[in-house]
Structures are given as C-alpha cells and as structure tokens.
Structure 1
C-alpha cells in the first residue's frame, strides 16, 4: 500500500465513550431445562471475531457501551437474552427521535445524559453505516463530538477495519 493509499489515522481520546455496534453472531443462551434463553452480560453476547476486535478497542476507552438494534445503548455488564434484530430490521418509525419511547429517542436520551457529565465529550462509534445513517439526526443533536473512525479512516472492508482496530487497541494498551 503506498502512502497515498494508507488509511487516515483517527485519534480516539482516552476519555471518549466508545459505542460498539451490536453484531449478528451471538452466543446461544437457550436453557433446555428452563425452556428459555438465559441472560448474559451484553459485552459477552456478541461472538464474531469482528465484534471481539471492536470490544477490545472499546475496552481501551474510559467508558464503553453497546449500541443494540433491539435495546438502544446498553452497559457492557447489563444482562441481555439472545435476540435476532439488526439495525436493518428496525422499522423507520423507530428512528424518529422526537417521539418518546422510540429507539432513536432512547439512544439520544442515553447519549445526552452521558455527554452532559463532561466539558468536551467525544463519542466514538465502532460500527458500519447501518448504525450511522438511520441515526444521523440523533448524533447531530447530542451535545458531544461524535466520531465514526471506521468510516473516517477510509478502510476498504471488514478485514482492513479489523486490522486497524487491532493495531489501535495494541497501541493504546502499550
């Protein structure tokens, strides 16, 4: 890769809130005896290698949360049962941040509460455009700088994103 083709480096402040977009691959938590799914910490629910790399980078931030298509903003230790909703499954009506109770409204409320604790808050979203585009209005209204490093770094595909995130996590842990 030539210098002109190198990804743009994106600074991730230590005190940022890192949001990890949920993933499709999840641990199956069905308990035959109970005849239902058993809740697990949100941070452990998503099992793909992509999710693990995002989580590892997020763990280098002062704070991190899961951005769930089903539940909104979730603390990593919050117990969740298995679910099968991705952002593309969410009805358009849920992206109306003006309507209390919608997914967008809940996300905006959570991010605003977090942001109001800081003088110059930064939120880092580790996820694809399916977690950015439908929530653009929310991100623009939150009183924080919201960054999308996987898009800003102009990384060509999931493998390049995983490599970039692994490198950033390693650098930040050193």
Structure 2
C-alpha cells in the first residue's frame, strides 16, 4: 500500500523564502505531523499532495509557498489531482490522509482498480488529532 497525505497551510521558511527544506520538514502543523506518523505506521512508501507542486516525495526540496487548494478553480483542482495520480507509483491500494478539497478530486481521478483507504473521511478537523494518533498506534489497516 502506498500512502498519500495532504500538505499543510503552516510551513517553515516564510521569513527565508529561498531556503529549501525536505518536504517532510517544510510543513509545520500538528495535523501534518499526525498524518506523517499515521502513514509511516501503515506504508513503506508515501508522498504528499501539494497544492503548489502536485505530487511530492518526502525528501524533495521545497521552499515556502502560500498556495492553498481552495485558491484553485475546480477545473484546476481536477487537473492537479490527475497529475498527482499520474505521478503516483503504481499501486492497487492507497491510504489517503487529507482534507476533502484534496481527497474528492483525487479519488475522482484514480483508476477504478485502486482501492482507497480513507480513514479520516467524515472525521471533523479537531477530532483528527485523536484519530491520527489511534491510526498511528495501529500497525495494520486490517485492524482499522
């Protein structure tokens, strides 16, 4: 199973816009950190769905940016999601941990034969902290 998490509005480097960070270290929020812990508990490989860059590997170097998925028109969101799908490693199972603004166009762009595990669907934002902690403590999606 491959994991894909959404980026975060909060990022390091706003005061140093030319400074590069590994993508896994650029984003600075409890939500992003919880997603990383959860995805690493279930997936050997994972990536990030960035509103600015599309598909990003955790070690890709990025600078601060301020693009939000909600800044994009619906057609642009669909195009970005399709590009993310094209860049994903081949997989038949995908764990996604992201908001609906990312997840909905992504799921619409995925081939029908990809099984999606979306354990945060329907979980309110501030309830996600506990849900992500519980997910990270479980090591097998069959236990979900």
User: What is the TM-score when the length of structure 2 is the normalising length?
Assistant: 0.85
In terms of Rg, which structure is larger?
1
* In the alignment, structure 1 residue 158 sits paired with structure 2 residue 128: no
Give the paired residue count: 139
- Shift of the 142–81 alpha-carbon distance from structure 1 to 2, 3 Å rule, reads farther
Cα deviation digits, residues 112-149 of structure 1 (max 9, x gap): xx12xx5xx2111101111122334212x264212211
After superposition, the Cα gap between the structure-2 partners of 1:170 and 1:104, relative to the gap in structure 1 and judged at 3 Å, is closer
* Residue of 98, 113, 116 corresponding to 1:146: 116
Match of 2:6 in 1: 21
Higher relative contact order (CA 8 A, sep 6+): 2
| Aligned match of 1:126 | 97
The equivalent residue for 1:110 is 87
Q: In structure 2, how many angstroms separate the alpha carbons of the residues matched to 1:172 and 1:128?
A: 22
Per the alignment, residue 54 of structure 1 pairs with 35
The TM-score normalised by the length of structure 1 is 0.71
2:52 aligned residue: 70
Q: Secondary structure at the match of 1:150?
A: coil
Q: Tell me, what secondary structure is at the counterpart of 1:93?
A: helix
> What secondary structure is seen at the aligned counterpart in 1 of 2:35?
helix
1:35-50 paired onto structure 2 within 5 Å: 36-50=17-31
Q: Does 1:87 align with 2:69?
A: yes
Tell me by how many angstroms 1:72 deviates.
0.9
- SS of 1:105's equivalent in the other structure is helix
Q: CA deviation at 1:55?
A: 0.9
Distance 1:124-1:69 versus aligned 2 partners, 3 A rule? same
